[in-house]
Amino acid sequence: MGTVVPFKKKTLKEKHKGKTLCKNDFHKWKVVTNNKFDVKQGKLVTLFRCQRCDKEKTVLED
């Protein structure tokens, strides 16, 4: 007969760690590309990515 392998269930705190802040729009933004030029609008674009949930946003600079 084989050996029994115990499985460890994650607690709710471990399962949702770092996600509740992003759900309430408290992202941790980090710059991915700085001063990328947008040809259509003729402006500089900065790309930000959240470190926790990988959501991206772009900011146009005048």
In this predicted model, what pLDDT tens digit does every residue of 2-33 receive, in sequence order? 898 888 888 888 877 767 788 888 899 999 98
Q: What is the pTM of this model?
A: 0.61
**Who wins on pLDDT, 47 or 35?**
47
- Indicate the burial class of 49 (C-beta count within 10 angstroms; 0-12, 13-18, 19 or more): middle
Across residues 35-62, what is the average pLDDT?
A: 86
Q: Which amino acid is at 12?
A: L
Find the domain containing 42 and state its range: 27-62
Would 20 be classed as within a structural domain? no
Would 48 be classed as within a structural domain? yes
Across residues 44-54, what is the average pLDDT?
A: 90
| For residue 56, pLDDT beyond 80 | yes
Would 5 be classed as within a structural domain? no
Would 4 be classed as within a structural domain? no
Would 22 be classed as within a structural domain? no
Would 55 be classed as within a structural domain? yes
Q: How many angstroms separate the CA atoms of 27 and 57, rounded?
A: 11
Would 54 be classed as within a structural domain? yes
Q: How many domains, the chain?
A: 1
Would 43 be classed as within a structural domain? yes
